[in-house]
């Protein structure tokens, strides 16, 4: 019976890359709602710079999968205007580093209009693309924008880690009536995860604003988003051999932040470590620490909260310097041992 149960579970689960999960999400939403369309650089005939939109142009044609010139301010503005006119655009930035060219459209035109129109003018738009450090692309192409965009009222900011995250969160973002920033990670696109039978459904969505406990534990809480969730799980596996059980929380959503899940975990573990690839100053970890200090979980901490972040410098090009500029598994393990006085 146990063998049959395991066989049934393996049949229900398939391995899907993050790239293909994002592709599935867009395909299903394009099919579901004729108001949805995708625009960006090389998204159509080239199938996307990272092949995330592979096959969509052939299936949906020029009117719904639109190649744009290299002009982020221009096509982001077109997308925002289309959203105001009743369509539901997905605006792809080849990398979020290029979104700085369009940040006025994202924040002033998209994020603030619903408030400034007294709720009369929604802007249902998704801004998506790879975010954070990649490999060997130096300072101008290696920034994490989680703190940048989550600073701004009017935006929802999502940061998926797994294939399930990618599919469920992107579908929720497309269906949302507010502007949503979806921060993917280039280094995660080719990583395959098991996708449950539930997640393979066209009706599968993940609620925005809810974190997920990826690994339960009772000694220390590790809070992370995007690629760093995997690093935390790897560190937790190493520490488990030494008798330390880490609770790993995958934020999934940066704004609105699921403070309740973090607080509940701290009340159990009495220790907090935040992990992110971005810079430390005014970062996601800084916000988490501030909220914990201001809230009921602060009195449960047995040691100061610790932030594991990228180094506070522009990203170097040399590989050995790059490796030492972003958090590594050993940095998480060191921080856990430090907070537990091991």
Q: Which residues pair with 128 in a beta bridge?
A: 92, 182
Name which of 222, 217, 224 is nearest 240 in CA terms. 217
Please name every residue paired with 67 in a beta bridge, in sequence order, or none if there are none: 40
Q: State how far the Cα of 157 lies from the Cα of 74, in Å rounded to an integer.
A: 22
Question: Token pair for residue 199?
Answer: 């997640």
List residues bridging with 152 in a β-sheet.
Answer: none
Residues recognised as catalytic:
72, 141
From the CA atom positions of the chain, what is the Rg in Å?
20
Measure CA 226 to chain center: 5
What 3-state class would DSSP assign to 219? Answer: coil
Tokens 């809810």 found at: 210
Q: What share of the chain is helix, strand, coil (3-state, %, to 5)?
A: 40, 15, 40
**Euclidean distance between CA atoms 287 and 106, whole angstroms:** 22
CA-to-CA distance for 41 and 90, rounded, in angstroms? 12
Where do we find the tokens 């008798």?
Answer: 243
Compute the residue count for the chain.
342
Listed in sequence order, the residues at least 6 apart from 31 whose beta carbon sits closer than 8 Å to its beta carbon are: none
Instruction: Count other C-beta atoms under 10 Å from residue 190's C-beta.
Output: 12
CA angle at 254 for the pair 82 and 144, rounded to the nearest 5°: 85
At 338, give phi and psi (nearest 5°): -65, -45
281's tokens = 């100053």
């Amino acid at each position: 019976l146990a063998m049959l149960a395991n066989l049934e579970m393996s049949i229900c689960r398939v391995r899907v890359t993050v790239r293909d999960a994002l592709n599935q999400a867009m395909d299903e939403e394009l099919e579901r709602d004729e108001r949805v369309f995708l625009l960006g650089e090389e998204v159509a005939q080239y199938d996307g710079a990272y092949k995330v939109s592979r096959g969509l142009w052939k299936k949906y044609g020029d009117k719904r999968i639109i190649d744009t010139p290299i002009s982020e301010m221009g096509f982001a503005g077109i997308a925002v205007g289309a959203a105001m006119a009743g369509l539901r655009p997905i605006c792809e930035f080849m990398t979020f580093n290029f979104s700085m060219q369009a940040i006025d459209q994202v924040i002033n035109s998209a994020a603030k209009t619903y408030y400034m129109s007294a709720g009369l003018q929604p802007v249902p738009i998704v801004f998506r693309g790879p975010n954070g450090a990649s490999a060997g692309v130096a300072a101008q192409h290696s920034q994490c924008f989680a703190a940048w965009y989550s600073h701004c009222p009017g935006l929802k900011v999502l940061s998926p880690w797994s294939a399930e995250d990618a599919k469920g969160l992107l579908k929720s973002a497309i269906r949302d009536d507010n502007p949503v920033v979806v921060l993917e990670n280039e280094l995660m696109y080719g990583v395959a995860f098991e996708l449950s039978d539930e997640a393979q459904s066209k009706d599968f969505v993940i609620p925005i604003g809810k974190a997920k406990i990826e690994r339960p534990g009772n000694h220390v809480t590790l809070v992370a988003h995007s690629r760093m969730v995997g690093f935390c799980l790897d560190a937790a596996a190493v520490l488990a051999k030494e008798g330390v059980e880490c609770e790993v929380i995958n934020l999934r959503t940066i704004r609105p932040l699921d403070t309740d899940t973090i607080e509940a975990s701290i009340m159990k573990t009495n220790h907090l470590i935040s992990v992110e690839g971005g810079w430390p100053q005014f970062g996601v970890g800084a916000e988490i620490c501030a909220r914990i200090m201001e809230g009921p979980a602060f009195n449960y901490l047995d040691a100061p909260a610790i932030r594991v972040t990228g180094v506070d410098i522009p990203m170097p090009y040399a590989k050995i310097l790059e490796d030492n500029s972003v958090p590594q598994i050993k940095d998480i393990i060191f921080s856990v041992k430090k907070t537990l006085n091991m």
